[in-house]
Amino acid sequence: MSHSPFNNLTIKKFHQGLVNKDFKALDIAEAYFKVIEEKDKEIGAYLTPLKDLAYTQAEETDLRIARKEAVGELAGVPLALKDNMLVKGERTTAGSKILNTYRGTYDATVISKLKNEGVVFLGKTNLDEFAMGASTENSGFHPTKNPHDLTRVPGGSSGGSAAAVAGHMALAALGSDTGGSIRQPAAFCGVVGLKPTYGAVSRHGLIAMASSLDQIGPITRTVEDAAIIFKAIAGQDSYDSTSVDVSYGDELTNPDFQKIKSLTVGIPEEYFIDPSASSGQGGIEPEVRAGVESVIAALKSAGIKFKKISLPHTKYALSAYYIIVPAEVSSNMARYDGIRYSQINHESEPSNLLELYTKTRSRGLGAEVKRRILLGTFVLSSGYYDAYYAKAQKVRALVKSDFTEAFKDVDVILTPVSPTRAFKIGERANDPLAMYLADIFTIPVNLAGLPGISIPVRQVKSEKENVSQSISHVANKHVTDLPIGFQLIGKPFREADILGLGQLYEKI
C-alpha cells in the first residue's frame, strides 16, 4: 500500500491542509475515487460508491472555505459507511439480496450528524449479510479481502469498512458492533476500531440485527481520529429510546496524560489462559500473546500500573450470546416478507401469502441468516424459552456483574481482540463454531454494554526489555506480517479513559 498518496493522512492533517488551502476537498474526493477504482477490484471493500453525493458534499465544503466561513474538523473528510446505515435516497442493502434494490427513505441519525459536520460520503461498504458473521464472507454479493494479504479475510461483519480504511480507500469509516464487528476487523486489518458504550450513539436508521447489543462506531487510522468521529456522532436522540444523554468534553480528543498515567489497568486471567487448559478460552496464537505482552511492557515503561483480575463467567459469554442474538435476529428479520422494502422476482407468481414469504426468504436470505432465524425461533418457542433464552439472559447479568466487580479495583481492562490473526478465506466457512470463536474476547463487552477499542500492536521501541527474548523475536517477526490488535475495555460512558490510554500508547 506504499503507493497510496494517503498513507500518513489523519483527520487533523487533512483539516489543516484544507484550511491552509493546500488542497480542496473535491480534489481529495476525486483522488480517493481514483484509488478505489484501482484497488477495489481485488479487495471488494465497497458495495455502492456514492460519487455524486460525495462530489456535491466536497464542493459545499470548498465553497464554505472560499467564503471564509469557519469549518469543523470533519468538514470534507472522506468517509466510508457500512451498508446497514440508511442514507436518504441511496441504496442500502445490509449485504443482502433481499434488499438489493432498497433505497433509504431517511437519514440515520449518525448520517444526519455527519452531514451537518460537512463529511464527504465516499460509499457504502460490504458486510456479512445483515451483519451476521465474523469474516465478511457471508455477504450476499461478494467476499471482501484483507488489504494486508488478499488470501485472508478482513474480519467481520464490518470487514468492508475496515478494509477501506486499511487499504487507503477512505480516511475513516463507520461500522456497527454487535459482538465484535468493529473491533475484530479493525484488529485483522491493522486499524483502530471503537465500540462505544451501549446507548452512547443513536441506533436510529441502523438496520437492526440484535437490538440490545448493536452499536455504531468509527474505524480509523489513529485513536485520535476515532475520538474526533465519536464525539461528533455521540449523544441522545429522541428517535432512539435506548440512547443516553451524556456530555463528552474535550478530554476525548485532548487527554490529560498525567491523569491517564494514574489509571490502573486490569489483566483478566481468563483471557490469557494456557491454550492446553481444558476450561476457559484458550487457543491464543503465540504471536497474538506476544504482541499483547509487548503492549503491556510498553505501557508499564510509561508508568501505567497493572493488576490481575478475574472475570469468572467469561467462559459462558459465547454460549449466552449465541442464544440471545438469534432470538433478537428472528424477531428483527420478520419484517423482510417480500411485500415491504424491495421485491424479489420469482419465476412463477406465488399463489398465496405463505408461498410469497417462503419463496422470498428462501431466495433472498443467505445460509447464516437462515441458521440464526431458525435457532432464534427455536429458543423463543413455547417450552424452550425458559431452558434457553431466559437462562442466557441470567448469564448475561452474571457477565455484567463480573465487570462491575472488576471495575471497583481497576479503571480499564486490557485483553487481546481475537485469539488469532486474520485467517484464510474459506478456512472456517463450513465450521460455524470455529467462526463464532473469532469473537470470544469481544462478545462479553457487548453483553455488558461497555465501551471497547481495538488498537493495532506495533513493534515496541522500548529500552526496557520487559518481554523475554523469544517473545520479542516472535513479536518482531510476525507483527509486521499480519496485524494484531489489543483491546481496551472501559467503564460505562468512560470512552475518555480508553481513548486517552490508546493515544498515550501511540505516543510511546
Instruction: Fill in the amino acid letter for 198.
Output: Y
- Give the number of other CB atoms < 10 A from CB of residue 345: 5
Q: Where are the beta strands (DSSP E) in 69-155?
A: 78-82, 120-125
C-alpha 99/C-alpha 256 separation (Å) is 46
Tens of pLDDT, residue by residue over 409-455, are 999 999 999 999 999 999 998 888 888 888 999 999 999 999 999 99
| pLDDT value at residue 283 | 77
Instruction: Fill in the amino acid letter for 365.
Output: L
Over residues 179-200, the mean pLDDT reads 98
236 has a pLDDT exceeding 80: yes
Is residue 83 a contact partner of residue 206, using CB atoms and an 8 Å limit? no
Reported as half-sphere exposure (CB side, CA atoms, 13 A), residue 390 has a value of 7
| pLDDT value at residue 15 | 97
Burial of 8 (0-12, 13-18, 19+ CB in 10 A): exposed
245 has a pLDDT exceeding 60: yes
466 has a pLDDT exceeding 80: no
- Which residue in this structure is represented by grid cell 489523519? 10
Q: What percent of the chain has pLDDT over 90?
A: 83
Instruction: Fill in the amino acid letter for 406.
Output: A
C-alpha 209/C-alpha 206 separation (Å) is 9
Cell numbers that stand for 506 in this block: 501511540
Write phi, then psi, for 418 (nearest 5 degrees). Answer: -140, 150
Domain region containing 332: 1-508
121 has a pLDDT exceeding 90: yes
Instruction: Fill in the amino acid letter for 437.
Output: L
Over residues 378-399, the mean pLDDT reads 95
Q: How confident is the model at residue 274 (pLDDT cuts 50, 70, 90)?
A: very low
Q: Which one is predicted more confidently, 7 or 137?
A: 137
Cell numbers that stand for 325 in this block: 442474538
Is residue 169 a contact partner of residue 35, using CB atoms and an 8 Å limit? yes
Is residue 33 a contact partner of residue 54, using CB atoms and an 8 Å limit? yes
Q: How confident is the model at residue 478 (pLDDT cuts 50, 70, 90)?
A: very low
Tally of residues, the chain? 508
C-alpha 128/C-alpha 141 separation (Å) is 9
| pLDDT value at residue 339 | 82
Q: How confident is the model at residue 1 (pLDDT cuts 50, 70, 90)?
A: very low
Beta-carbon contacts of residue 300 (< 8 Å; ≥ 6 apart): 306, 464, 466
Beta-carbon contacts of residue 298 (< 8 Å; ≥ 6 apart): 460, 462, 505, 508
C-alpha 110/C-alpha 120 separation (Å) is 13
Cell numbers that stand for 36 in this block: 478505489
Over residues 7-21, the mean pLDDT reads 94
94 has a pLDDT exceeding 60: yes
Is residue 209 a contact partner of residue 328, using CB atoms and an 8 Å limit? yes
Number of domains in the chain: 1
Specify which residues 305 forms β-bridges with: 264
Is residue 230 a contact partner of residue 196, using CB atoms and an 8 Å limit? yes
| pLDDT value at residue 469 | 40
The gap from C-alpha 300 to its chain's centroid, in whole angstroms, comes to: 28
459: three-class secondary structure by DSSP = coil
Reported as half-sphere exposure (CB side, CA atoms, 13 A), residue 66 has a value of 10
479 has a pLDDT exceeding 90: no
Over residues 301-307, the mean pLDDT reads 97
Over residues 464-485, the mean pLDDT reads 54
467 has a pLDDT exceeding 70: no
| pLDDT value at residue 220 | 98
Reported as half-sphere exposure (CB side, CA atoms, 13 A), residue 96 has a value of 30
Beta-carbon contacts of residue 115 (< 8 Å; ≥ 6 apart): 57, 107
Instruction: Fill in the amino acid letter for 479.
Output: V
Beta-carbon contacts of residue 224 (< 8 Å; ≥ 6 apart): 10, 11, 12, 253, 503, 506
Q: Which of 457, 487, 497 is nearest to 262 (CA)?
A: 497
Q: What percent of the chain has pLDDT over 70?
A: 92
Q: Which of 75, 71, 73, 89 is nearest to 28 (CA)?
A: 75
Cell numbers that stand for 470 in this block: 523469544
Number of helices (H), then strands (E), belonging to the chain: the values are 17, 11
CATH of the domain at 249: 3.90.1300.10
| pLDDT value at residue 281 | 47
6 has a pLDDT exceeding 90: no
Lowest mean pLDDT across 232-246, 373-387, 455-469: 455-469
Lowest mean pLDDT across 141-145, 299-303, 471-475: 471-475
Instruction: List the catalytic residues.
Output: 82, 157, 181
| pLDDT value at residue 144 | 98
Instruction: Fill in the amino acid letter for 267.
Output: I
Q: Where are the beta strands (DSSP E) in 248-373?
A: 264-268, 305-309
What is the Cα Rg of the chain in Å? 22
Q: Quick one: DSSP state of residue 351?
A: S
Q: How confident is the model at residue 463 (pLDDT cuts 50, 70, 90)?
A: very low
Q: Is the peptide bond before 157 cis (omega within 30 degrees of 0)?
A: yes
Over residues 2-20, the mean pLDDT reads 85
| pLDDT value at residue 45 | 98
| pLDDT value at residue 4 | 62
Q: How confident is the model at residue 459 (pLDDT cuts 50, 70, 90)?
A: low
Q: Which of 500, 457, 483 is nearest to 224 (CA)?
A: 500
C-alpha 328/C-alpha 41 separation (Å) is 35
Is residue 360 a contact partner of residue 98, using CB atoms and an 8 Å limit? yes
Average pLDDT of the residues of the chain: 92
